[in-house]
Amino acid sequence: MAPCDVPVGVITGDDVVKLLKHAKDNGYAIPAFNCTSSSTANAVMEAASKCNSPVMIQASNGGAQFMAGKSIKDKNACAAGSVALALHVRAMAPYYGIPVIMHSDHCAKKLLPWFDGMLEADEAYFAQYGEPLFSSHMLDLSEETLEENIG
């Protein structure tokens, strides 16, 4: 079992909240890494396992494009790359024996099609397995006006 009795592998919902609260209450950070391939995700999980540490694996828009293949120009390539990374992490994380938060990193307004593709994958995964594919997503509208963010 991992810290505070959350399961190993990708965690979601209440387990994420429990882990983040445990980290805050016990004064430790959960490292986060943007991964661009199955190899980088495996390296992150291996290092976390050796340190007996939970970890956050992030998919950025650019990293997801790299995961999909830089030559793919389809508008859905970034979402497909993020989904492929999340599926890989879900398949492998239990073998590393640590909890993993699977997170999408900084989605600006101009990248909303990428965000929508990940949310569609979350819904499809939830329909089949009872939990979302990703643990969390970050919608970052800091480039937008204050009025647009609040209004």
Of 5, 14, 74, 105, catalytic? 105
Interaxial angle between packed helices 77-96 and 38-50, expressed in degrees from 0 to 180 and rounded to the nearest 10: 30
Predicted TM-score (pTM) of the model is 0.92
User: What would the two tokens of residue 102 be?
Assistant: 């699977």
Exposed (0-12), middle (13-18) or buried (19+): which is 75, by Cβ within 10 Å?
Answer: exposed
Mean pLDDT rounded to a whole number for the chain: 93
Band of residue 119 on the pLDDT scale cut at 50, 70, 90: very high
Region 7-17: mean pLDDT is 97
Buried b / exposed e across 9-40, counting CB within 10 Å, b at 16+?
bbbbeebbebbbebbeeeeeebeebbbbebeb
pLDDT exceeds 70 at position 1: no
Region 96-116: mean pLDDT is 91
The residues near 9 (Cβ < 8 Å, ≥ 6 apart) are 90, 93, 94, 99, 100
What local confidence, expressed as pLDDT, does residue 151 receive? 64
* Interatomic CA distance for residues 56 and 51, integer angstroms: 14
Q: Which residue has the higher pLDDT, 3 or 64?
A: 64
105 is catalytic: yes
